[in-house]
Amino acid sequence: MNESVSVILLAAGNSARMNRPKPFLPFDEKENFVDKITGTYISAGIKDLILVVSPAIEDEIRQTMGKKYPGQPVEIVVNSFPERNRFYSLQLGLQKTSSSFCFIQNIDNPFVAEELLAEMIKLKRPGTYVVPVNNNQKGHPVLVSAEVMNHCRWLDGYDYNIREELMNFEEIKMDWPDEKILTNINTTELYQQYFQSCEVFMK
C-alpha cells in the first residue's frame, strides 16, 4: 500500500459537450469512467482518494461509491462553484489530504493503468513533480510532491493554471509508450472514437 501517496480526481466540470456527466460515461459493459479510475488507483495500493464533484451529481456519486467500495471510503468533496476553473477544484481536494505525494487525475482520461502509476511512484522526489510523456507530449496523470501541493493549496484566488504553477518546480519526465495518456475525452465525438462498442449505452 502506498500510504504516502494520494489521488485527487477532478470531476466537477459541467460536461457541457457530452450528453451526460463524464463520471458516468460507460468505460465498458461493467464500469463507467469513475468506477474504472478509482478502481485502478485502489488496485495500485493508493487508499487516500479524494473525488471532487459538482452539486449536480453529488447524490449519485455518493450512492455509487458507497455501493462499490463500502469498506474503502472515497472522500467526496463538493465544488459548490463549478463555474470556477479546475484549479479551484484542485485546491478543494488539496485541503483534504496530508500525504507526501499526490496524483492529479482528470475524469476525462479513464485510461490510467496500474503499471503507469507504479513507475511514476518510483521516480517521486521531494520538491518535484512527475509527468508521463509520449512522443514529446506531456500526458496524464501528474504526480506532485508536498512542496507543490502546499504551493497550490493556499494561492489566493482560483484564476490559476495547474500546468503554469508546476513550472515553479523541478520536472521529472517519464517516457511512456501508450499514447492514451494524452487523451482528454471532452466531446461525444471523441468518446465514440475510443468507445465505439459502448455507443449503445449512450442512447
Question: For position 15, which CATH number holds?
Answer: 3.90.550.10
Structural domain contains residue 148? yes
Structural domain contains residue 203? no
Closest C-alpha to 195, from 110, 95, 90, 85: 110
Q: What long-range pairs does 14-18 form, CB within 8 A, spacing at least 24?
A: 14/54, 14/56, 14/82, 14/83, 17/186, 17/187, 17/188, 18/186, 18/187, 18/188, 18/191
Are 147 and 94 in contact, with CB atoms under 8 Å apart? no
For the chain, percent of residues with pLDDT exceeding 70: 93
Reported as a single tens digit per residue, the pLDDT across 149-199 is 999 998 998 889 999 999 999 999 999 999 999 999 988 888 888 887 665
Structural domain contains residue 95? yes
Structural domain contains residue 199? no
Domain span including residue 80: 5-193
CA distance 111 to 51: 17
Residue 1 has pLDDT above 80, yes or no: no
Structural domain contains residue 202? no
Structural domain contains residue 130? yes
Reported as a single tens digit per residue, the pLDDT across 19-33 is 678 999 999 888 999
Structural domain contains residue 112? yes
pTM: 0.92
Environment class of residue 175 by beta-carbon count within 10 Å: exposed (0-12), middle (13-18) or buried (19+)? exposed
- DSSP-derived letter for residue 19 is S
Residue 103 has pLDDT above 90, yes or no: yes
Structural domain contains residue 92? yes
Tally of domains within the chain: 1
Environment class of residue 45 by beta-carbon count within 10 Å: exposed (0-12), middle (13-18) or buried (19+)? middle
- So what's the pLDDT on residue 189? 86
In which residue are the cell numbers 475524469 written?
107
